[in-house]
Every structure is written in C-alpha cells, then in structure tokens.
C-alpha cells in the first residue's frame, strides 16, 4: 500500500492505494482522516468521493473532539489505569528484559502486565491481545444468554478491531464484535449484543427491527447516543 498526500480546503487527508481494496473507503480516527482507494482508481475521482461524504467525515471528527474529554481514558504506565466495562483497572507494569511473550493477568482490580521492553507501545500491544481474549469471553456469555432468551441461534463468533463498526451479523448467522467495546460501560456492550441478536431475526434497520430492539432494550436510544458521542474515543 502506497500513500500520497492530499489536502482538501477543509479536510486534510492522505490517499493510500491498496491492491486489496475493491472499493474506495474513508477512515476517520483520533489521528485524522485517510482515504483508501483501489490501485486503478483515478486520483481525479478521489476528491468528489470525499466531498460526497464530507458531512459524515466532519461529524465523526467533531465527535472525537467533543466526546473525548468525557470518555473512558487509558494511561499506559505503571500506576495508570485502563477502562474495563465501566470500571478502572489499576495497571501494574513490570519490565523483564529478555521476555519474549508479554503476560497480562487480572488480579482483583489490578491488571498486571509483564513486557520484555519498556515503553507504551509494548504495553499497548500486550493489553490489546488481553482485551481481545477477554472480549471473546465477555461477548460469548452475553450472546449465548441473549439468543437463548430470543429463541434464536448464531453460527460462530469472531472478535475484531474494526475502525468504524462495533459489531455485525451476517445472513448465515456469523457474529463479529469489536474488542474495544470492553472499553465502554457494561450496559453499552449489553446493548450491542441485543442489537446484533435482533439482526438474527431482522437483518435491516427497519421499523420492525427497532421495535424488536426496543422491547429487549428499552434504553436503546440512550445507548446509541452514547456510542455516537464517545465511541470514536474508545482506544488504548
């Protein structure tokens, strides 16, 4: 993937060409905006593509700026904290020179991290692997309970780290959840699970779908608002 700079009058972004991309897409996060395009897409088509999605890009950037001060934050150092389903876990970081594989263990309210090299990058990598493992446990238990209540079944569960999607449900019942949901309060994860379980019965976001979600999670509007406001800032 190669990158070239481009600067819009209001939104600066780099353009990255990818051999694997089938369609152009825009990524927005705390670091800014990036545009990923297929190898053969003409550069002249990029600016109109971004312009057509300007409102979404500006709205997402604004949510980072507005939601970040009130969102759960991680401080990746010994004595710092990381959010976990609504509570703060105290980090105890130990550097063990020569250690090849990092180790993370939860002991009460402490998250003990052993890494081979000092620095935030090593701690962040170790924590992300731990969060991914924990996400499978936390999501699976909720998913099993929710499908049992609904009288439905799902085919398989995968944990991912999507930039712009919290979860998905395919037509064949395959479920995917973002590990970063564990950085949000517990009720947010509960809601996203119920949202996706409802998709096992109704795939689209029709009136029937939202009626079903509302019966299972009466506070779904508040949960949706929380995710729109704070979701972009859920990062280690």
Q: Is residue 181 part of a domain?
A: yes
For residue 162, what pLDDT is reported?
A: 82
- Average confidence (pLDDT) over 200-221: 94
Q: Is residue 106 part of a domain?
A: yes
**pLDDT above 70 (res 107):** yes
Give the pTM: 0.72
Asked whether residue 181 falls in the same domain as residue 135, the answer is yes
**pLDDT above 50 (res 7):** no
For residue 212, what pLDDT is reported?
A: 96
- What's the chain's average pLDDT? 88
Per-residue b or e along 73-88, where b marks 16 or more CB atoms closer than 10 Å to that residue's CB = bbebeeebbbbbbeeb
Which residue range is the domain that position 115 belongs to?
A: 81-233
Asked whether residue 115 falls in the same domain as residue 153, the answer is yes
Asked whether residue 59 falls in the same domain as residue 87, the answer is no
For residue 2, what pLDDT is reported?
A: 45
- Distance between CA atoms of 192 and 57, rounded to whole angstroms? 23
Dihedral sign computed on CA atoms, order 120, 125, 130, 136? positive
**pLDDT above 70 (res 4):** no
Residue 117 sits in a domain whose CATH number is 3.30.2010.10
- Distance between CA atoms of 216 and 39, rounded to whole angstroms? 45
Choice among 4-8, 15-19, 85-89 with the minimum mean pLDDT: 4-8
Choice among 44-48, 57-61, 130-134, 145-149 with the minimum mean pLDDT: 57-61
Per-residue b or e along 28-56, where b marks 16 or more CB atoms closer than 10 Å to that residue's CB = beeeebbbbbeeebeeeebeeebeebeee
- Average confidence (pLDDT) over 175-189: 96
Q: For residues 145 and 134, is the Cβ–Cβ distance under 8 A?
A: no
Domain boundary among 70, 101, 118: 70
Asked whether residue 127 falls in the same domain as residue 178, the answer is yes
What total number of domains does the chain contain?
A: 2
- Residues in the chain, overall count: 236
Domain boundary among 12, 36, 70: 70
Q: For residues 193 and 142, is the Cβ–Cβ distance under 8 A?
A: yes
In tens, the pLDDT along 156-175 reads 999 999 877 899 999 999 99
- Distance between CA atoms of 103 and 70, rounded to whole angstroms? 30
Asked whether residue 38 falls in the same domain as residue 93, the answer is no
Q: Can you read off the two tokens belonging to residue 107?
A: 């002991």
Q: For residues 77 and 91, is the Cβ–Cβ distance under 8 A?
A: yes
Asked whether residue 66 falls in the same domain as residue 87, the answer is no
Q: Is residue 76 part of a domain?
A: no
**pLDDT above 60 (res 71):** no
Between 236 and 186, the higher pLDDT residue? 186
- Average confidence (pLDDT) over 22-39: 82
Q: Is residue 75 part of a domain?
A: no
Domain boundary among 70, 102, 125: 70
Asked whether residue 53 falls in the same domain as residue 133, the answer is no
């Amino acid at each position: 993937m190669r990158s070239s700079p481009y600067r819009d009058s209001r939104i600066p972004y780099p353009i990255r060409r990818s051999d694997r991309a089938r369609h152009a897409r825009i990524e927005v996060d705390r670091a800014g905006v990036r545009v990923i395009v297929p190898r053969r897409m003409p550069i002249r088509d990029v600016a109109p593509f971004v312009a057509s999605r300007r409102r979404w890009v500006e709205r997402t950037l604004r949510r980072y700026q507005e939601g970040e001060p009130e969102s759960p934050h991680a401080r990746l150092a010994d004595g710092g904290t990381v959010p976990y389903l609504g509570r703060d876990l105290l980090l105890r970081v130990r550097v063990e020179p020569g250690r090849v594989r990092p180790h993370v263990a939860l002991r009460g309210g402490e998250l003990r991290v052993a890494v081979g090299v000092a620095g935030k990058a090593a701690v962040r990598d170790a924590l992300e692997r731990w969060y991914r493992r924990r996400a499978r446990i936390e999501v699976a238990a909720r998913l099993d309970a929710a499908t049992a209540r609904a009288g439905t079944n799902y085919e398989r569960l995968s944990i991912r780290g999507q930039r712009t999607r919290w979860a998905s449900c395919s037509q064949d019942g395959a479920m995917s959840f973002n590990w970063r949901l564990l950085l949000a309060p517990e009720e947010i994860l509960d809601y996203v699970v119920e949202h996706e379980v409802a998709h096992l019965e109704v795939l689209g976001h029709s009136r029937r779908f939202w009626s079903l979600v509302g019966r299972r999670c009466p506070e779904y509007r508040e949960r949706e608002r929380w995710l729109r406001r704070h979701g972009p800032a859920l990062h280690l």
